Amino acid sequence: MRNLILVILAAVLTGCGSETTDNRADLSQAQRADIAKNIASFSTAKVEGEVMQVAVVEDLAGKAKYGACAACHGNKGQGGIGPMLAGQSAEYISGRLLAYKAGETVGAQSSLMWGQASMLSETDIQNLAEYTASL
């Protein structure tokens, strides 16, 4: 017990465990790679001839909204109760969602989609379409 207290006291006195303002140098290449993977919600964009990294906030919003869709269309858009969405273009998905939102009959399960689409804004529809097209 006495040794444990001495170890803890030594750690406190030497600053072990204290926060530093810049500990990036302490990270290994593997740790940096793991961090990069965790923040990989970026895509490239070409702006005035230069390639830049930009956050894809809309993709995250689309992914969040897709959670309700997954119950019928599958986590990867593979279909189930509802038809397969994987492989469809963003234009196709947004067109269908806008039609459902307007109360149009598009297929046999239109009545199921009217209520779902009625709750979506046009931004939601675009975000969902772009996310779904990436499945």
- Kindly report, residue by residue over 52-109, the tens digit of the pLDDT: 555 455 567 888 899 999 999 999 999 999 999 999 999 999 999 999 999 999 988 9
* pLDDT at residue 61, as a whole number: 85
Q: Token digits for 31?
A: 């740790």
Out of 1.10.3720.10, 1.10.510.10, 1.20.120.450, 1.10.760.10, the CATH code matching 57-133 is 1.10.760.10
Identify the burial level of 40 via C-beta atoms within 10 angstroms of its C-beta, where 0-12 means exposed, 13-18 middle and 19 or more buried: exposed
